[in-house]
Amino acid sequence: MPLPFSTAGPGFGADIDLKLRLTNANSHVGFAIVAGGGGAHVLVLDEHKAAFSANGALLLSFKTSDTVTLTTMGRYVYLAIPTADGGTSENFVHIAGASLGLKIQVLPSISVLPEIGAYWYEGRISDVRIAVPGFQYGFMLATTF
């Protein structure tokens, strides 16, 4: 749960994304729509709270070899903390931006995905308003069923 506030601390949560590929799986250029959501435990002013998020993305990919794919994504995330004082109307963040990454296939159904991104964060938590740029890096593990 990306929370760009000094009043909100780290938490533990889970997120699931579903991807619908709109191009042929054998194509060197891919286009997909992603939708997802998640929930988490976060600390707000040292109090335990529950948060949720919903997200959507457009994904464009370019296969560079049999095992490596370059990816770029535009993503929007809405994050809210309904259990904090004031509920979701006073404890929310809108996040929009883009990322660039690689999908490296290590086994037929398992890939690793290093990624960097730049985002705009806008929202409010505990009467603190924020509108700032943010940057991320990540390393994900993906599997297909």
Per the CB < 8 A criterion, the answer to whether 134 and 95 are in contact is yes
Quickly state the pLDDT bin for 40 (edges 50, 70, 90).
confident
Per the CB < 8 A criterion, the answer to whether 130 and 124 are in contact is yes
DSSP state of 78: E
* Residues 21/24/29/31 CA torsion (nearest 10 deg): -20
In angstroms, the CA 135 to CA 99 distance is 9
- The class level of CATH for 8-143 reads mainly beta
pLDDT tens digit sequence for 74-90: 999 999 989 888 888 88
pTM of the complete model: 0.79
Radius of gyration of the chain measured on its C-alpha atoms: 17
Give the per-residue pLDDT at 84: 84
Domain boundaries, the chain: 8-143
Edge-to-edge, what's the strand order for the sheet holding 8-21?
A: 8-21, 29-44, 47-63, 68-80, 92-107, 110-125, 128-143
Number of residues assigned to the chain: 145
Quickly state the pLDDT bin for 28 (edges 50, 70, 90).
very high
State which of 10-24, 30-44, 109-123 shows the largest mean pLDDT.
109-123
In angstroms, the CA 107 to CA 130 distance is 42
pLDDT tens digit sequence for 110-128: 999 999 999 999 999 878 8
Query: What residues contact residue 42 under an 8 Å CB cut-off, 6+ apart?
Result: 1, 3, 8, 9, 10, 11, 13, 49, 50, 51, 81
